[in-house]
Structure formats: structure tokens, C-alpha cells
Structure 1
Amino acid sequence: MNEQDLRQLLTVSVEDVLPSQPATAGWERARRTRRTRRAVGAVALAVTLVGGGTVAALRPSADPPTVGPVAPTVTPTVEPTHAGPVQKPPTELTFPPDPLARIADPATVRLSERPVQRALALFQPLDEENRADGPVRVLGDDGVVRSLDVVTPAPTRDAGGNEAAAVKPGVLSPDGRSAAFAQTGELIMVDLTTAAVRRIPLDGYLELVVWANDRVLVGGDDRTYAVDRITGAASTFDVSAWDVVAPDPAAGREAALIEMIGERGGLTLRSRTAREGTVRSEQPITGDALPSPYQVNEFYGRGWLHGERLARAAWITNSEIDGAEGVAVLDARTGGVTHLLDLGRDRAKGCCPVLGWDNRGAVLLRLEPAGLARWNPETGEISGIVRDLRGMVALAG
């Protein structure tokens, strides 16, 4: 064996001998491998991100971005306040500005000098003995208070000699252009837009007036006349001037007339034809919507229609007394009492007659200590118009 063969043999023998620290060598090789892979991976990721981001920035999106549903804008609605069937006035009334409040002002001009285009109210001042205390006042829609100087209506009288003021709820026409005064033996009609006076002779003691569209109903204890407001022609009419309800001016000339008759246990709505006065129907007045022990005992004063609602003052039974003062609103179609204003027991008897409705659906009434007040049956709101008004008031429709 020569020297070359010996060197080759030794080389082969050394390659078959394993390192003295195989675990350390293995971990070192693995460490180097992982470090190399991480470095390569990081470089590849960076290249991918840069390239992908550049492409994404330069390439338009094939699909629009997904947008979640947009919730509709909800505007909160204010629900109207509905009061209960029985309501009471507040202890202290507020008195917001009101055109009718000027009726308490003294007259500054005579009607003959300056007629109205439309009157809002008539007012007859009374002294402590309920006698006329000065001329009748006319409040125009211009805010000016006039004195009724073209005629001085006398107090009304009945067969027993009892007197009452000439101005009563109902004497002013709904359009505010005319006034009609019941007198013993005649009806006095005044055109407030011209100050012209017309006297229509009629028999009997006449006390009450109701404007019924194109006619004026005027009557007393034993008879009622229907007087044409244009021609003055009069005929007897089979309806009680005490019980007939003032029609809604918007109802039309052929709208039925309604009477409210009877006492507790027998209160009734009676419907009559507008022209002949023939009875069409009768139905009981009920208080099923009222909580116990509330009920209507008897009505007084003038009743007033507004659409299908009817308002009238009444003596009522409440939780304290049988005979309290109140105001009732009825459904004129069914006779059901829908709202009742409980005015309590500490008021003068017959204190609070209804004077009509305003154009917003509020009832206008006399109310102590306020001279006039507004009551909204739907919301229960009640506010004053005039304080301590001594005298009689008639309002336009």
C-alpha cells in the first residue's frame, strides 16, 4: 500500500466518526435554519405587502364597499293630552290675553256714530240689585267698546211680574252683525252694522231669544215664535224657548232642532224638524261614561251645539253632594255625557251658564270668581278671560 492509498483510507475513516457534542451541533444547525427562514419570510412578507398595497391602491374595486343599513330618522310625535270624563277647575285661574277681556272696559263711542263690522259680545252692566246700570255695551272685532244708544231694551217680564235683564245668552247673532231683544209684546232687532232698529209686534210675555240660522226663535212660558230675520214674518212654533239648544251656525238651515227636557231619571234629547217643528226622535241622556257616583240631575241655561257636541250647565251629583254646580258635554247623536266639569258646592246656585263655544272647541262659560272662562273638555285646560264681571253677557257664535 503506497502513501496515496493510506491517505484516502484515513479520510474515509474520519468522515464516519460523529461529532463529540451531537445535541449542541443539532440545536446550532436548527437555530441557523430558523433564523434564515425568518429573515427570508420577513423579506417575502414585506415584498408582498408593498406590492399588494400598491396594486390595491392603483386598481379600482370591483365591488362597492358593504355599507350597513341606515336607520330611518324618527321624529318623536307629541301625543295629544286627553283628560278624563270628570274634570275640576284649578284653584287659581290664569288670565292670558284675550280679545273678549275688553268687554269690561267702559264704552268710548256710541254705536250710532261708529257701527261695527262684527260684534264679539254684548254686555249689560248690573247693579247689586240686578238692575240695569248704564247702556248695553257692544264690543266690536276692532277692540272698540261702543254704547248701544239707538235703543234701550227694557227688562223682560213674565206673567207673575218677575223681571230679568234684557241681555241674555243668545241675543247676539252668531255672525255678530245683529242683536234681538225679547220684550213684552214685541221683538226688537238691531242691525249692529248700520245701527238700524226694527220692532216686530208679538203677543205675550217674551223672555228668551235663540238664533236658528235664518230665523229667530223668541218665546216665554206659553208660546214661541219663529221670526224670519229678513222679512220679519212671524209664526208660532211648537218648541220650548227654555229647552231648545242653540244650533251650530255651520249646520245649515235645514238642520234639526234639539231640545233637552226632563229631570233626573228622565233626561231626554228630543230632535225636531227645522221648519215644522215635528218631533223626529227622542233618546235618553245617559251618563255611562262617568265614574260613580257622578250623574247629571237637571240642566239649566242655554244649551249650545258645536258639530256633534252639545254643552250645557247642570246641577250634578258628585262625590260630596247631590246638587253641585257643573257643566256637561254630550254626544248629540247618542245622548251620552262624555265630559263633566265639576264646579263643586261652594258657588251660587245657577252660577255658571254656558255662553257658547269658541272656534277651537272650548266651552265659554260664566264662572266665579272669574266673570268669563274657557274650558277645553278634551285637554281639561281651563283659563280665565275676565275677572269679576258684574252683568249679563251674550257672545257671538
Structure 2
Amino acid sequence: MNEQTLRRLLTATVEDVLPAHSAADAWDRARRTRRARRAVGVAALAVALVGGGTVAALRPSTGPSVDRSVAPTVEPSPAPPVQRAPTDLTFPPDPLTRLDGPATVPLSARPVRRALALYQPVDEENRAVGPIRVLGDDGVIRALDVVTPAPTRDEGGNQATALKPGVLSPDGRSAAFAQTNELILVDLTAPAVRRIPLDGYLELVVWAGDRVLVGGDDRTYAVNLVSGAASPLTVSAWDLVAPDPAAGREAALVEVGGVRDALVLRSRTAREGTVRSEQPVTGALLPAPYRINEFYGRGWLHGPRLARAAWITSDEIDGAEGVALLDARTGAVSHVLDLGRDRWKGCCEVLGWDDRGAVLLRLRPGGVVRWQPATGEITGVVRDLNGAVALAG
């Protein structure tokens, strides 16, 4: 058999052997592979778009399919910078509602463990009527019978009640009353009275750590609560802001005062009262034409936030009543409570903060209200309370 004959036999033999898979099968497999690759590519692109490029690990499911989708979180809208009190206030239950009741026992017979508030009823001439009432944390109203503070007065003879916002210590255990030529300290838990001689027409007090700051138009003293020693302090008793009790004894002193474009916020050292910083009070966050004209009453700190009553320019009038909330670090006014024009002049002095970050203020006529700047919620606390009020910190 020669070579040519052998080649023809081998060729014929190979032609009789069929392939294991046809071309159609191969194309079908190729199409399935392409479809699988396209599906994987689409899924990967979707994961990249939804997850912002985050790689997701996909594992085969071993059980029934579970929908793990999460509804989108909706952040609450921030309260507007200008807020208004509702026409009709609601009055949720509150321990302070007992303030409008009569005293049932003298303080000397039943001292308090802690006072929540002091209240002094007044007549139409703003003169004290009866003793100061002491509301204890047990809900009992006492009459302050161990001392009767005289009205404060200035050099011109103008008088005011001795009870003012700020006289009650933050822990509710003591009270401090400014008097002409002296400071009266009352331990409400003993009870006991200390009289510290000082010079001048003294009208205002501020509790500041281990000291009481007391002053009037032309002078301010820092009185040590242990020794009773007093030293002059170069701060204005009218512009001084009550410190946050949680800030500690070395917390900086803050003043805020001035008029219109000259409103200023100052930070001073705790002990000497030396100016550390000074910046203008600004209202850039408020909508036009809102602005602060002048502050009045005691200012109160709660962390970096400062609340104080003010006369404001509103969208209705220049000289409306209001309450301003400031950043004590920058002087920026973040919120204003617009209380309108139909109120007594100087109606709405701030009384302090509660433990939930709400501002408590006097509303005349109207009683005591609670304002939550973060939400804009305003509710009543005590109805038609005619007189002076001081709250514990």
C-alpha cells in the first residue's frame, strides 16, 4: 500500500466520525454565557450607582427571599428663626402650677429640702402683697417668715420688689437678696439668715459658682459664700448673664448689652473680670426687617446658648416685645420669639432654662410659659400669675 492510498483511507475514516457537540450547541452555549455576563454587568452597575461605588458581596440565598429594604429617614425641618406664641396656650400639668396657691405653713416650721421657685404677689402699683412664697420640691407652699427683704431702690428713689429672677440658687437651697448697703443670704433648708454689709444702692444678684455677684448702677461686688468677703468686680450687674450651673466655678463671665448697632457680647475671666473677648451681636440669620434693638432683664446661659428678653424690630412694629437666643461664642442671634405689641412694656423677662433645653419666661399678661426654640413649641406653665417669680437653675 503506497502513501497516497493510505492518505485516502484515513480521510474517509475521519469523515465518518461526528463531533461530540454541534456548532448550534456551541452558539447556544455562547449566547447563554453572553446573557449571564450581561446580567452580572447590569447588576454590578446598579450596585455601583445605588451604593455610590461601594462593593457588595453577593451570596446565594439559603432560605426564602426577605425584603430588607429600609424606608428613607426624614430629618425634621429646623424651626424657623422667627417664632410666635399661639393665641391660645395649652397648659400641660407642671409642678410650678402650685405657685398660684396660698402658703400653708411658715418656712421656719417646715424648711425645704429644695425649692423649685419663689413667688411674690404684687398689687396694681407693683408693691409686695404679703410674704414671699417658697415652693418646695414636695409641692408644699411655705411663707418666707425668717426675713422680710425691703424693696430695692436706686439713687433716684425708684423702687422694685426684692424678689427678682436670679435670686434663687441653682440648687434651690438658698436665696440671695440685694438690699441697700447689704446682701441678705437665706439658707432655705435650715432656715438661717446671714447679712453681709456692703456699700451702695444694690438691686441685682447673680449666682456664679461659689460666689454671689451683687450690684447696682455704679458698682458690683463678688461675695464669697463661705467667708462672706466681698471684692469689687468690673462688670455691669445689669448686663451680666447668669452662668450655666454645669459650667463650673471657673466658667467665664458673660455680658451682653448696648443698643441697636452697638450691641456687644463680652467674655470675662471668672475671678478678675478681665475682658477676654468682645464681638458684636449680629442678626444676619434673621429675616428682614427683624433685628434686636435692646436687651432687658437677666440673661441666662445653657451651654453655648444665651437667652434674654429684648425689644425688637419686627415685621409689624419697631419696639415689639421678644426673646432672643444667641450663640454666646460668636454673638450671632439664631432665634427670636416675637411676642408682638399688645403686651405690657418689659412684659417678658426670661426666668431661666429647664433641664430639656427649653426657655422659661414671664408673660404679662399671661403667666409663665415654656419655649422650645429647637422645635418652636410654646406651652403654658402657670396661668395669670401676677407678681415676681424666681426659679431654681
Q: Normalised by the shorter chain, which TM-score bucket?
A: 0.7 to 0.9
Tell me if structure 1 keeps the 8 A contact 2:134–2:143: yes
Whether 1:234 and 2:230 are equivalent positions in the alignment is yes
Whether 1:316 and 2:318 are equivalent positions in the alignment is no
Tell me if structure 2 keeps the 8 A contact 1:370–1:385: no
Q: CA deviation at 1:199?
A: 0.4
Whether 1:202 and 2:207 are equivalent positions in the alignment is no
Q: CA deviation at 1:77?
A: 5.5
| Cα distance in structure 2, aligned partners of 1:103 and 1:169 | 15
User: Which has the greater radius of gyration?
Assistant: 1
| Cα distance in structure 2, aligned partners of 1:308 and 1:153 | 34
The CA deviation string for residues 69-126 of structure 1, in whole angstroms up to 9 with x for no partner, is 4222647767445310000000100011101111111001110011111100000110
| Cα distance in structure 1, aligned partners of 2:116 and 2:283 | 34
Matched letter for residue 336 of structure 2: L
Q: Secondary structure at the match of 1:366?
A: strand
Matched letter for residue 82 of structure 1: P
Unmatched runs of 5 consecutive residues or more in structure 2: 1-59
Of the candidates 352, 355, 358, which is equivalent to residue 356 of structure 1? 352
Tell me if structure 2 keeps the 8 A contact 1:369–1:387: no
| Cα distance in structure 2, aligned partners of 1:132 and 1:369 | 18
Instruction: State the match for 2:52 in structure 1.
Output: none
Whether 1:258 and 2:235 are equivalent positions in the alignment is no
How many pairs are equivalent? 334
Instruction: State the match for 1:166 in structure 2.
Output: 162
Instruction: State the match for 1:128 in structure 2.
Output: 124
| Cα distance in structure 2, aligned partners of 1:269 and 1:224 | 18
Q: CA deviation at 1:181?
A: 0.3
Unmatched runs of 5 consecutive residues or more in structure 1: 1-63
Matched letter for residue 344 of structure 2: A
For residues 66 and 99 of structure 1, do their structure 2 counterparts lie closer, same or farther at Cα, with a shift above 3 Å needed?
Answer: closer
Of the candidates 305, 322, 336, which is equivalent to residue 326 of structure 1? 322
Q: CA deviation at 1:196?
A: 0.4
Tell me if structure 1 keeps the 8 A contact 2:335–2:373: yes
Matched letter for residue 130 of structure 2: G
Q: Secondary structure at the match of 1:355?
A: strand
Q: Secondary structure at the match of 1:303?
A: strand
Percent of residue pairs bearing the same amino acid type: 77
Residues 136-147 of structure 1: pairs in structure 2 closer than 5 A: 136-147=132-143
Matched letter for residue 259 of structure 2: E
Residues 369-388 of structure 1: pairs in structure 2 closer than 5 A: 369-388=365-384
Whether 1:269 and 2:272 are equivalent positions in the alignment is no
The runs of at least 4 consecutive aligned structure 1 residues that moved more than 6 Å come to none
For residues 66 and 122 of structure 1, do their structure 2 counterparts lie closer, same or farther at Cα, with a shift above 3 Å needed?
Answer: closer
Tell me if structure 1 keeps the 8 A contact 2:131–2:145: yes
Whether 1:92 and 2:93 are equivalent positions in the alignment is no
Per the normalisation by structure 1, the TM-score is 0.82
Instruction: State the match for 2:239 in structure 1.
Output: 243
Instruction: State the match for 2:38 in structure 1.
Output: none
The CA deviation string for residues 257-296 of structure 1, in whole angstroms up to 9 with x for no partner, is 0000211001010110000110001001101110011111
The CA deviation string for residues 329-350 of structure 1, in whole angstroms up to 9 with x for no partner, is 0011111000100011111110
Instruction: State the match for 2:14 in structure 1.
Output: none
